[in-house]
């Protein structure tokens, strides 16, 4: 499977990213992968590879590229209490304006790849902070997004007038969301409000509660990893892309 570390221009600088594609010739639908707040690392690279193996060209950008090129991540150190404030500050630095500015560059880079089907709608999947980014991107670029998913998302429902749940009315893509039932960042009342906004939208969607799961349940390098919930997430995600995105072309 072709796997490449790439860089490309955004309005705010140069973004490093991981690009993964199926083996062999052909053209494929594009997928944008929004990482979690822990960062750009082998565990999420492997997830991008798994999506690519199913028949997609996958772009996984380092969303923290404004802080400079990233070296190897020491998970224990990054998640330690002494570094928690820095991690939270880094996540919160990705304002909606920055997210949407980046999204245009990400989608443009993907569409320009010679192994992407010309004009094909993209899929998006996001984790943790990436889930809200997936919603924002899908709302801003409805003509370019055919399917979007988010898992163990945080801050999908806030008091902000631009809260992700308030943007769903403009979304036309097929949607799948998987919530951990033990997630302080997305408590039951927030999940209910999010589901209500999905229902008002009036289009098909899937929003599920993963029982026994903690925030971060898809991440194999974290202590909160839950294989049963992760397996279910993969079933839902690949089924969504398979139904909503264009088939490979020779």
Residues marked active site are found at 128, 183, 215
Contact 166, 132 (CB under 8 A): no
Hey, which bits of 133-245 come out as E strands?
A: 145-151, 174-182, 205-214
Whether residue 20 contacts residue 52, with contact meaning beta carbons closer than 8 Å, is answered with: yes
Dist CA 212 CA 9 (whole Å): 41
Asked if 115 and 21 count as a contact pair (C-beta separation under 8 A), the reply is yes
Q: How far apart are CA 59 and CA 57, in angstroms?
A: 7
User: Which residue has tokens 């988010």?
Assistant: 150
Structure tokens at 157: 């429902």
Per the structure block, which two tokens stand in for 13?
A: 């600088």
């Amino acid at each position: 499977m072709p796997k490449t570390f790439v860089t490309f221009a955004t309005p705010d600088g140069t973004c490093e990213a991981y690009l993964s594609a199926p083996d062999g010739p052909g053209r494929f639908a594009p997928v944008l992968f929004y990482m979690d707040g822990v960062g750009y690392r082998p565990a999420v690279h492997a997830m991008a590879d798994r999506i690519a193996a199913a028949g997609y060209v996958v772009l996984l950008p380092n969303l923290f590229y404004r802080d400079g090129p990233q070296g190897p991540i020491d998970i224990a150190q990054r998640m330690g209490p002494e570094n928690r404030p820095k991690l939270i500050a880094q996540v919160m630095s990705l304002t909606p304006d920055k997210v949407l500015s980046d999204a245009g560059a990400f989608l443009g880079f993907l569409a320009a790849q010679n192994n992407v089907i010309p004009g094909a709608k993209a899929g998006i999947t996001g984790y943790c902070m990436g889930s809200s980014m997936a919603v924002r991107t899908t709302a801003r670029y409805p003509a370019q997004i055919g399917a979007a998913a988010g898992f163990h998302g945080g801050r999908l429902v806030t008091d902000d007038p631009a809260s992700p749940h308030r943007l769903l009315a403009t979304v036309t893509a097929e949607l799948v969301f998987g919530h951990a039932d033990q997630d302080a960042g997305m408590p039951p009342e927030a999940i209910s409000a999010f589901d209500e906004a999905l229902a008002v939208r009036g289009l098909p969607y899937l929003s599920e509660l993963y029982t026994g799961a903690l925030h971060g349940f898809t991440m194999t390098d974290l202590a909160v990893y839950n294989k049963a919930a992760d397996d279910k997430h993969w079933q839902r995600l690949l089924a969504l892309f398979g139904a909503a995105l264009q088939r490979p072309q020779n």
